[in-house]
Amino acid sequence: MVDFVLVGSVMTLLFVAVVQLMLVLHVRNTLIDAAASGARYGAMADRTAADAEDRTTELITGVLNERFAEDVTTAVVEAGGIRTLEVRVTAPMPVVGLLGPGGTLKVTGHAVVR
């Protein structure tokens, strides 16, 4: 009986840690994809940086939650002598339960501006 409680508590803790890691990676990958897609959308010939920001916000809120799309910014930057549109997303770290990592996720997406 005691062995079951000891092993069960460790296994439960391990399971919650794996679920937390999967949630953080899912949110991070979704934000990266939304930022890259928004940058490509804004770099089109008939689009602007504001369109990239709107598209990124729309993609994030469609998959995740509105609070993950509160801080989306765009800028035209030079990377290796090439002008690129950069979309930056800063979002809170998702947490399972009360215990988990705090802080923010910061991701960027780039597309060549023609």
Domain ranges of the chain: 2-112
Mind listing the pLDDT tens digit for each residue in 15-59?
A: 988 988 898 999 999 999 999 999 999 999 899 999 999 999 999
pLDDT value at position 90? 96
Q: Long-range CB contacts (< 8 A, 24+ apart) of 80-85?
A: 82/112, 83/112, 83/113, 84/39, 84/43, 84/110, 84/111, 84/112, 84/113, 85/39, 85/42, 85/43, 85/49, 85/52, 85/110, 85/111, 85/112, 85/113
**Residue 1: per-residue pLDDT:** 82
The confidence score (pLDDT) of residue 17 equals 87
DSSP secondary structure code for residue 88 in this structure: E
Supply the pTM of this predicted model: 0.87
